[in-house]
Amino acid sequence: MALACDLSLPAGVFMPTILWGCLLGTLFGELVRYVVTDPASKTGVPIGAYALVGATAALAGVFRGSISLVVIMLEGTGHVDYLLPLLIGVAVANLAGAGFGALLGCEGSFYDLQLAAARVPFLRHHSAPETAEDASSCPLIDRVSATVAEVMSRDPVCLNRVESVARIVRVLRTNSHNGFPVVDGTEELSLENVGRSRGDSVRKGKVVGLILRSQLMVLLARRAFVEVAPSVPASMPAARASAGGRAIRDFLNIFCRERVAASSSASDEDTGSEEIFPAFSGLGIDELRKYYDTLDADMRTFHHRHSHGDRTVSVSNAALDRIGLTDSELANYKCDVSAFMKIAPLTVNERCSVWRAANYLIDVGLRHLPVVDNGNEVVGMLTRGDLCGCAGDGEE
């Protein structure tokens, strides 16, 4: 079982636990058969029943299971007459596990101990306390009136819709965060003014999206750059000129439709579309869709292709160096992250209760929860590490 837990193999611990539980149950059954002196009774000792109860008790002691394990074993074997021995074995195993865990200071199931050893911030479901006495015994927070502003990480590093490649690289190198809010503003605050030591600036503005670190790595590796903010050709009608301020995806879609329309209308005059839109000659909607599908697939499978069991490897500074960005790319190009960010992410107000924010993270399965003020401007970021840090359950 120790090998199954520590080796990087898809073995798991469920079957090894059943195996040694069966062995101990069989050993106890053989001991009972040896102690019994009546020859007729020796042949009637059900060794298989002892093995079944031993396996169930082992699972209950390791994973802290209860009635569900009994139901699984009864359904799997079909021996309903083993109900009482299974219930007794599960109860004794849980009591023994809880007792030894309290003595050794390692309460919880085997999975809880693995999470604690790996320093993974894990939130459990808790009911909000109604009184201060209930709150004092709750492991999540020690104040009933606690707000998100008291536990959040302040002054988050934000990105603009269209951000320079140089700043994206600088942000990735100087921060270990895995998610960055995308804001629709240009106000910057020096980090020296907010007590930080990183040579960067904090963007302030209204939140419009959230982009992950792995997505930024894919955009840099695929060179999904633009030289300048997309501009509209002079030949395009003024009604379509408003697309210049939209996301690059919408702009290119409109651009391609204009190209197709211009190409069809110019065919009678024997004029090629390359003369009208030379920069996008040969680029159609299908090619654009295929290009974005490729980027999306790379973003979804990024950690599966590069993690090697540790996601920090695929987003480290060494991985950033392997992309091989040139000085020209850093100085002259930008990334339009608005086409790939998570639009309208779930946010909470800074005056929101910690209990409600914790339920958002647990129930929705969020990893990052932007915190905004009354004007919808980002003022902080809330993660599981922030809540576990204030609860004392894990490391920040």
Domain ranges of the chain: 2-117
The predicted pLDDT at position 279 comes to 40
Q: Which residue has the higher pLDDT, 305 or 213?
A: 213
- Indicate the SS3 state at residue 287: helix
pLDDT over threshold 50, residue 247: no
State which of 36-50, 114-128, 130-144, 279-293 shows the largest mean pLDDT.
36-50
Above pLDDT 90, what percent of the chain? 10
- The values of phi and psi at residue 379, to 5°, are -120, -10
pLDDT at 145: 64
242-259: average pLDDT: 48
Q: CA neighbours within 13 Å on the CB side: how many for 3?
A: 2
Band of residue 191 on the pLDDT scale cut at 50, 70, 90: very low
pLDDT at 322 over 80: yes
CA-based angle 159:160:164, to the nearest 5? 85
8 Å CB contact between 70 and 83: yes
Q: What's the full length of the chain, in residues? A: 396
Asked whether 166 and 333 are in contact (CB, 8 A), the reply is no
Determine the average pLDDT of the residues in 278-289: 57
Instruction: Give 232's pLDDT tier (boundaries 50, 70, 90).
Output: very low
Ranges 52-56, 91-95, 214-218: which has the least confidence: 214-218
Q: What is the pLDDT of residue 112?
A: 80
Q: Is the dihedral of CA 371, 372, 373, 379 positive or negative?
A: positive
- At residue 365, φ and ψ (nearest 5 deg) are 75, 35
- pLDDT at residue 171 greater than cutoff 80: yes
**Which is higher by pLDDT, 135 or 297?**
297
Whole-number average pLDDT of the chain: 73
Confidence of residue 338 (pLDDT cuts 50, 70, 90): confident
Q: Which residue has the higher pLDDT, 132 or 177?
A: 177
For residue 6, with 0-12 CB atoms within 10 Å meaning exposed, 13-18 middle and 19 or more buried, which class applies? exposed
- Specify the pLDDT at position 190: 44
Between 320 and 263, residue with greater pLDDT:
320
Predicted pLDDT of residue 284: 60
pLDDT of residue 22: 93
Per-residue confidence band for 241, with pLDDT thresholds at 50, 70 and 90: very low
Q: Over range 128-138, report the average pLDDT.
A: 49
